Structure 1
Amino acid sequence: MSDVTPGTRTTLREQLGTRAGPKHELATLLSLAVIFGALDVVISVNSQPTTGWAGPRADLVLQLLVDVSVLGLRRFPKTVTGIALAVAFVTVLADGLAPGLLSPENPASPLILPRVTSVIVIFLVRLESPRVAFPLIGALAIIGSEPWAPSWTITPVGLLSTIGPAAVVLYLDARKQLLQELRDRAERAERETHLLAEQARFEERRRLAAEMHDVLTHGLSLMVLHAGALGISSKEPDVRKAAEEIRARGAMALDELRDLVGVLNTTSADISERMTGPSPRLGSAGAPKEPPPPPDPATLVAESVAAGIPVELDVEGERSQMSPTIARTVHRIVQEALTNARKHAAGAEIRVELRYRPDGVGIRVVNTPPRRQPDEVLAGSGSGLGLSSLRHRVELVGGTLQAGPTPDGGFRIAADLPAYVPTTETRQKSAHR
């Protein structure tokens, strides 16, 4: 316990100053002064009066002087301790030179020190460094125990009034520090567990991304090549048109797959690259080729309207302010919402709201209650993981997604996305604001 550093005492001092306001501290010290003052009055009344020029109650005056000085113990612990030491030293000196002058010859209390000494010791240990507190407490212990005239009555009382409170305070401080260290270790272990779990999730995402890239990209690329070859070799316009549409759809699926694989395979370190969209693609001549424009949700709405589904589109703002990754996520949200409405809300009216802002985009897709029974084959064609996968994708790009039924029996999907995929640095800056 003796290796407590001065910095630890400063911390305790700050903690005391934080937890207790000036009024509360003054009230506490005033209460202690009144309690020990009353105790000194009772003991003095039940003791013989002092003799000599100092008066019949010289001992009570000295005790009350130390009791009053306790009011400044919080700010001036060394000064108050010095007053207590001076009173104790003068009392012991007077007992040797002029017995009965400053203390009764047969006192009711065997304690030579001021009776409020235990309170002074407690504050001294808490507020001062060991190199200051321990010598002062040692001086009080020597005077209070009177080793030059050991007595079974005086010596134990003097030691218990000085060393006893100091030992208790040091024990409680050491116990508090031990508990704090245990809490810190538990928090570090929890953080390490969280980091390991994050690392495991990232490894799983990377494995899935690799499998998707190896399997799906290969098949889609072959499909696009065959469709392109069919469009060139066929002489029938309908076949060429269908082949061109297959090729376009396959190319779009490849772009979507590339974007999704990039999101799954993104770490906190390289996510900043995605803030400005995918890297440029090279054309056949090796020159940079402009990436295809992000899909417009209005195309999805037009396809649904063409299929006989009543869909209303409400757009505010400019969608050009978003990064391509966010634009594709918006497209996916609207696509999933319209698909779910077609499957599970036959005959329902759908309203799509897009609110483009400089800092992000808000998406709201609401459908009314179904007007007829859904087609069983269509309703059972899904995997049941569409919304959960969509929520995971939204969280990966730093957005939020809410989905659930409306009070009138319809269904609502709402999402808020940033304008760009946030990096670790931007997340930390926003968290400190």
Structure 2
Amino acid sequence: MSRARAVWQRVPAPVVDIVLVAVAAVDVWLNMWDHTRLGVALAAVGCAALVFRRRFPLGVFLLTLPIALMQDVAVVVLVALFTLAERSRNRRLLAGCVTLSAVASSTPWPLADVDRTMTLVFFVYGLATAAAPVLFGQLLQAQRDLARRLAEIEEAREHERALHAQAVLARERAQLAREMHDVVSHQVSLIAVRAGALQVAAKDADAKEAAHTIRSLSVTTLDELRTMVTLLRASGGHATELTPQPTLADLRKLVESSGTHVELSGELPPNVGTPAQRAVYRTVQEALTNVRKHAPGARACAELWQDGDDVGVTVTNTAPTRPSLPLPGSQLGLVGLRERADILHGTLEAGPTAEGGYRVRLRIPLSAD
């Protein structure tokens, strides 16, 4: 089934349209009752309109309605209904179009004495016939939405796994850097000090030379250790991803790599402390992660601002454009942000907006340290 569908999808759209127009024209010609000039003209317009069914599905359906008056089951009407159902999410509109199709197919043509019983039977039959392509079109639409959401979920999981791996690597780097700085560097410093003392106290020339060599090597080793510690604390060329202590300098790259359409505006004064910068960064990071998970297709705006002695950031997103699927989460992201804000004597507000979106607002003192 999937192989046949893949082969069908590789067929160019113009070829599909030409085939459908030809099939619809043959169907109309074989089954049409009204062969007057008006009837033939309406049938030709309805069949030719199928070429534009992807761009104007509702208009094409309306153009095919006269053909439903001329024969019981018209391929052209069913194709138009299927295309409309595949592209529209308006259930009321689809129900109305099904009803219109059933009314057109059950109305006697040419107009004559109406047999109410047979008209009702034909109307019910027309409803069932018209509902079939609509249901099939809606099924394909739901299948595409589900495939897109599954792809987004898998992408989000890959992104989270990459972030987790980067966080683990950053912690290991930081721990190793601390061990080297606090233990190894301390011991090498003691060696250098003892060697210097030995160099001063020694009377033998060979002993002085040995002490001098030990001291020189110790100093060189200390310089190399400082370089290694610096490298371990750095990101290795990926500041936003690997640096364990991000700042405002990393904010733009975070926005660009978030996978969401985000507008970053405003700026903070240059004297904002490092803890405050990290709080702003983590707030934007968590808010954009929530947008990606729970508001697919939404747009977001991250605004940096200063209000007197306070600074902060407001992240607002619009309502989702596509239905979201439930994703597993710890529900602790905002809790952690509030705890971080409390430590800095600030506040964090989060909640839905009147337009159906969501807003996260962090406020911390400019002097937070």
TM-score, structure 1 as length reference: 0.45
Report whether the alignment pairs 1:217 with 2:185.
yes
Shift in CA distance, 145/43, structure 1 to aligned 2, threshold 3 Å: closer
Amino acid in structure 1 at the alignment position of 2:131:
I
Partner of 1:31: 19
Q: Distance in 2 between matches of 1:30 and 1:228?
A: 93
| Structure 1, unpaired ranges of 5+ | 1-18, 92-102, 104-108, 274-433
Q: CA deviation at 1:260?
A: 1.2
Q: CA deviation at 1:164?
A: 1.4
Amino acid in structure 2 at the alignment position of 1:80:
V
Q: Distance in 2 between matches of 1:129 and 1:175?
A: 13
Report if aligned partners of 2:83, 2:137 keep a CA contact under 8 Å in 1.
Answer: no
Q: 1:118 aligns with which of 78, 81, 103?
A: 78
Report if aligned partners of 2:43, 2:66 keep a CA contact under 8 Å in 1.
Answer: no
Report if aligned partners of 1:63, 1:115 keep a CA contact under 8 Å in 2.
Answer: no
The DSSP-based 3-state class of the residue aligned with 1:167 is helix
Q: Distance in 2 between matches of 1:207 and 1:158?
A: 73
The DSSP-based 3-state class of the residue aligned with 2:104 is helix
Q: Distance in 1 between matches of 2:106 and 2:150?
A: 39
- CA-to-aligned-CA distance 1:131-169 (integer Å, 9 cap, x gap): 655533432233335596556863354224422111111
- CA-to-aligned-CA distance 1:57-109 (integer Å, 9 cap, x gap): 97666434422232333344333222223454xx4xxxxxxxxxxx5xxxxx6
Report whether the alignment pairs 1:138 with 2:95.
no
Report if aligned partners of 2:200, 2:208 keep a CA contact under 8 Å in 1.
Answer: yes
Q: 2:47 aligns with which of 67, 74, 87?
A: 67
Report whether the alignment pairs 1:82 with 2:62.
yes
Larger radius of gyration: 1
The correspondence of residues 255-404 of structure 1 with structure 2, limited to 5 A, is 255-266=223-234, 268=239
Q: Distance in 2 between matches of 1:204 and 1:34?
A: 67
Q: Distance in 2 between matches of 1:215 and 1:226?
A: 17
Structure 1 residue ranges (4+ consecutive) displaced by more than 4 angstroms after TM superposition? 57-62, 131-134, 145-153, 269-273
Partner of 1:337: none
Q: CA deviation at 1:178?
A: 1.9
Comparing 194-203 and 135-144, the one that deviates more: 135-144
The DSSP-based 3-state class of the residue aligned with 1:235 is coil
Report if aligned partners of 2:78, 2:130 keep a CA contact under 8 Å in 1.
Answer: yes
- CA-to-aligned-CA distance 1:8-55 (integer Å, 9 cap, x gap): xxxxxxxxxxx899xx433322211111222233335xxxx76xxx75
Partner of 1:200: 168
Report if aligned partners of 2:234, 2:243 keep a CA contact under 8 Å in 1.
Answer: yes
The DSSP-based 3-state class of the residue aligned with 1:116 is helix
Report if aligned partners of 1:81, 1:120 keep a CA contact under 8 Å in 2.
Answer: yes
Report if aligned partners of 1:117, 1:161 keep a CA contact under 8 Å in 2.
Answer: no
Q: Distance in 1 between matches of 2:218 and 2:83?
A: 79
Amino acid in structure 2 at the alignment position of 1:110:
D
Amino acid in structure 2 at the alignment position of 1:135:
G
TM-score, structure 2 as length reference: 0.52
Q: Distance in 2 between matches of 1:129 and 1:200?
A: 44
Partner of 2:110: none
Shift in CA distance, 36/198, structure 1 to aligned 2, threshold 3 Å: same
Partner of 1:13: none
The correspondence of residues 162-201 of structure 1 with structure 2, limited to 5 A, is 162-201=130-169
Q: Distance in 1 between matches of 2:89 and 2:141?
A: 13
Amino acid in structure 2 at the alignment position of 1:144:
S
- CA-to-aligned-CA distance 1:165-212 (integer Å, 9 cap, x gap): 111111221122123222322322232222222222222222222222
Partner of 1:342: none
Report whether the alignment pairs 1:229 with 2:197.
yes
Report if aligned partners of 1:72, 1:80 keep a CA contact under 8 Å in 2.
Answer: yes
Report if aligned partners of 1:145, 1:159 keep a CA contact under 8 Å in 2.
Answer: no
Amino acid in structure 2 at the alignment position of 1:27:
V
Shift in CA distance, 75/153, structure 1 to aligned 2, threshold 3 Å: same
Report whether the alignment pairs 1:248 with 2:216.
yes
Partner of 2:31: 43
The DSSP-based 3-state class of the residue aligned with 2:54 is coil
Structural RMSD (CA): 3.5
Q: Distance in 1 between matches of 2:243 and 2:15?
A: 57
Shift in CA distance, 115/27, structure 1 to aligned 2, threshold 3 Å: same
Report if aligned partners of 2:171, 2:244 keep a CA contact under 8 Å in 1.
Answer: no
| Structure 2, unpaired ranges of 5+ | 1-8, 108-114, 246-369
Q: CA deviation at 1:224?
A: 0.5
